[in-house]
Structure 1
Amino acid sequence: MANAPLAIRPVSSKADTRDFIELAYRLNRGDPNWVPPLRSEVAAAINPKKNGWFSHAEAQLFLAERDGRPVGRIAAHIDRLALEMPAEQGFGPGTGFFGLFEAEDANVARALMNTAQDWLRKKGMTRVVGPVSLSIWEEPGLLVQGHDHPPTVMMGHHKPAYRNYIEDAGFAPVKQLKTYELDITREFPPLVQRIIALGEKNDRIRIRTVDKSRFAEEAAIILAILNDAWSDNWGFVPLTPPEIDDVGKKLKPIVFEKLIRIAELDGEPVAFMITLPDLNEAIAPLHGNLFPLGWAKLLWWLHRGKARTMRVPLMGVLKKLQGSRMASQLAFMMIEYIRRDAVADFGASRGEIGWVLDDNQGMNAIAETIESRVNRVYQIYAKELG
């Protein structure tokens, strides 16, 4: 009952952890566009022994209950690498986070927010940013536009009411992240085709697929470009080797060589583009369970390698080339080559790019030039801790 006393306590047992995980399935069950994540993946994400993010971070999970029944949850967390970042890039000294937020009603939300802020304050934090669940590289931001269709792989989906809950708690928007969608069965505009054709005549440029048999070596090349390319971006926190290892294990089954390109200039790797088939198409019908038959359905989907939607979660070009015509040319070439193969070999018809920072002029311009449109917007909030 809504009038029953509300209790909030730290998650401290296996039973608590199970309740923390299961709450999201109950609260979102009626939303046809919410994709139930695999329970095993959620459990691994919040387990310090199974998530490399915890090598430089700590988190406390909280559960809200009425009459012993879970009605809300939240994580309060501190990322030591984020504390080392320049404050003008969004995080920096004194910045803590909240995430993994779910609430049955406004009163529960308010109590959870207060609890997370109290924990962060006691840890010496002076500011809180969120929702970020848990790493900025995982599911950052609250969905504020695009509730009418399901998210793609590794993107969040939230109740519209959560926006009011967060803003009523005194949080103000600080950044928007956008995703773009496009029909990839259509060729790009003539201007883009001319840029690509010129690049193909340039002997200095090589656009290659990755070699999955050298997975660790290729991942290291991409990580080096990524950490350089994104280092000046708002919210940047360097990805670490333990996190890359985790991502590699998690995503290796949906890593296809033709969908990941590395651009070389004079033999030097200078840019990359990662594309993933939308795994959510396969896991949505499983209701979060691999057993008894979910694993077989998932294996069949992975074996076929067919997907309607392809998501581009990451692109990057070395800082020394950013803002140049060469950077745009390399980007268009990688996008076009992957587009062709996604349609021809994987039966894809739809692409999604993002997330993209609202002030990333270069990437937003590329998205607009290939005639994509914004389909989802995520908002990140911040609040000073008094």
Structure 2
Amino acid sequence: MVWDKSDFFAPKFRSKLMNIAAVKTKKQADAFLNVVRLIYQNDSSYVRPLDNDIEAVFNPDKNTFYQHGEATRWILEDANGRTIGRIAAFINEKKANYEGKRIGGVGFFECIDDYATAEKLFDTAKEWLKERKVTTVDGPINFGENDQYWGLLVEGYTPPSYGMAYNAPYYQSFFEQYGFEVKMEQITNEFSIVNGLSPRFVKIAEYVISKRPNLETKPFDPKQIDKFAEDFMNIYNSAWAEFENFTPIKKDYVIETFKKIKPIVDPGIIQFAYVNGEPASFVMCLPDVNQIFQKFDGKLTLWNKLKFLYLKKTNFIERVRVVVMGSKPEFQNMGLESVLTYRAFQHTIKNTNVKDIELSWVGDFNEKMLAIHKGLGAKPSKKHITYRLELV
């Protein structure tokens, strides 16, 4: 038998030479984080997430989702011991069992441009999930709420705002070749405030304010985290109750989130509305600190912390991300979201150097929110996809 040297380069042969390992040690955790240097070494739009933020996802002491779920992650090395990919898999028992399915997730996927490598990563995560009786896999998603690290970017390869997922363009073909199908499109819109707010939008907001003397708006106060966490939780759980497979959030999770964002938050762009004193609506916006973090290579050293504080004070940031907004059902269609975004953007124009507002992200099913985006004069800037893979 004559051995054809080309067999060495065949996907199945290469796959056998790869070594996949669950992350157990600090060295492996570092490899999990640092593989992005290889993947994005020639991509000027990539902004590396802070290592601390990624590690917090996989730390049971910092991620409350471990109270009702399980997660693990792997790194993949080639024959020379070079890390060439990573993936994580998780199951959230609060949402796992729905309409006869048992749903798990994969995320934090990174991979060189080689399908055999991607397939090895997907196979490993799939087997772990199947051992836990999972029948349906969503991905790429987060082991946490969907405001961070959620979806696969397929349009708009520009620098991501803080918390937004970014990936190499070839990942889409990997997911689809493996059998993942589109579950949901996630739409991000953007508009400029260089020339002020849309006159139509301002007119609507001011009209609502003039017609509702029982309406009061308040900016977030970091000194009253407990109160605003309670109000946020009540509004959020009521507003999202109608959506598919919704699980109410707990106050502890909101407090944890508020404490996490405290160093970067601008209280004036997180606004709450009260009708006759009752919490009715909120909008949460965050400065796009990725415009500073892009200089840090994921490392929040003492020097980088000082640099961050300095740049934040000098109005270095020129973009704000609207992360989430919502109203209780009984207060919907009253224009409260318009009033709150008006208040937030008024503050932004008056007190910052921000030029652009990113509205991210909204599911393609959420027609009400997409209509608000349109009213603001926003245009599409990015699209992510949440994929689904049926195992049975």
Q: Deviations over 1:102-123 (max 9, x none)?
A: 1112111011111111111111
Contact 1:199 1:205 in 2 (8 A): no
State the partner residue of 2:106: 98
Runs of 4 or more above 6 Å deviation: none
Q: TM-score, normalised on structure 2?
A: 0.91
- 1:258 and 2:264 are equivalent in the alignment: no
Please, which of 341, 347, 364 is the counterpart of residue 347 of structure 2? 341
Q: 1:305: how far off?
A: 5.3
CA separation of 1:240/1:23 partners in 2, compared to 1, >3 Å: closer, same or farther? farther
Q: 1:304: how far off?
A: 4.0
- 1:76 and 2:89 are equivalent in the alignment: yes
State the partner residue of 1:291: 301
Contact 2:229 2:251 in 1 (8 A): no
| Structure 2: gaps of 5 or more residues | 1-7
State how far apart, in whole Å, the 2-side matches of 1:208 and 1:317 are: 15
CA separation of 1:365/1:254 partners in 2, compared to 1, >3 Å: closer, same or farther? same
Contact 2:108 2:149 in 1 (8 A): no
State how far apart, in whole Å, the 2-side matches of 1:292 and 1:332 are: 40
> What's the secondary structure of 2:86's corresponding residue?
strand
Letter in 1 for 2:26: K
State how far apart, in whole Å, the 1-side matches of 2:140 and 2:251 are: 24
State the partner residue of 2:205: 196
Could you tell which deviates more after superposition, 230-239 or 129-138? Answer: 230-239
Q: TM-score, normalised on structure 1?
A: 0.92
Letter in 2 for 1:36: R
Contact 1:143 1:156 in 2 (8 A): yes
State how far apart, in whole Å, the 2-side matches of 1:81 and 1:255 are: 29
State how far apart, in whole Å, the 1-side matches of 2:104 and 2:221 are: 38
CA separation of 1:187/1:290 partners in 2, compared to 1, >3 Å: closer, same or farther? closer
Could you tell which deviates more after superposition, 125-134 or 34-43? Answer: 34-43
CA separation of 1:244/1:200 partners in 2, compared to 1, >3 Å: closer, same or farther? closer
Q: 1:13: how far off?
A: 1.9
Q: Deviations over 1:74-125 (max 9, x none)?
A: 11110011125x54xxxx7400100010111211101111111111111111
State how far apart, in whole Å, the 2-side matches of 1:331 and 1:194 are: 14
State the partner residue of 2:71: 59
> What's the secondary structure of 1:135's corresponding residue?
coil
Contact 1:48 1:54 in 2 (8 A): yes
Q: 1:343: how far off?
A: 1.4
Please, which of 226, 232, 241 is the counterpart of residue 242 of structure 2? 232
State how far apart, in whole Å, the 1-side matches of 2:326 and 2:119 are: 39
Q: Deviations over 1:14-47 (max 9, x none)?
A: 2211111111233122211110122222222222
Please, which of 128, 153, 160 is the counterpart of residue 162 of structure 2? 153
State how far apart, in whole Å, the 1-side matches of 2:259 and 2:221 are: 16
State how far apart, in whole Å, the 2-side matches of 1:297 and 1:164 are: 39
Q: 1:302: how far off?
A: 3.5
State how far apart, in whole Å, the 2-side matches of 1:333 and 1:268 are: 16
**Larger Cα-atom Rg:** 2
> What's the secondary structure of 1:359's corresponding residue?
coil
* Percent identity over paired residues: 28
Mapping 1:1-386, distance limit 5 Å: 4=14, 5-67=17-79, 68-83=81-96, 86-87=98-99, 93-104=101-112, 105-137=114-146, 138-147=148-157, 149-201=158-210, 202-234=212-244, 236-291=246-301, 293-304=303-314, 306-322=316-332, 324=333, 326=334, 329-386=335-392
Name the Cα RMSD after superposition: 1.9
Contact 1:178 1:377 in 2 (8 A): yes
Letter in 1 for 2:128: W
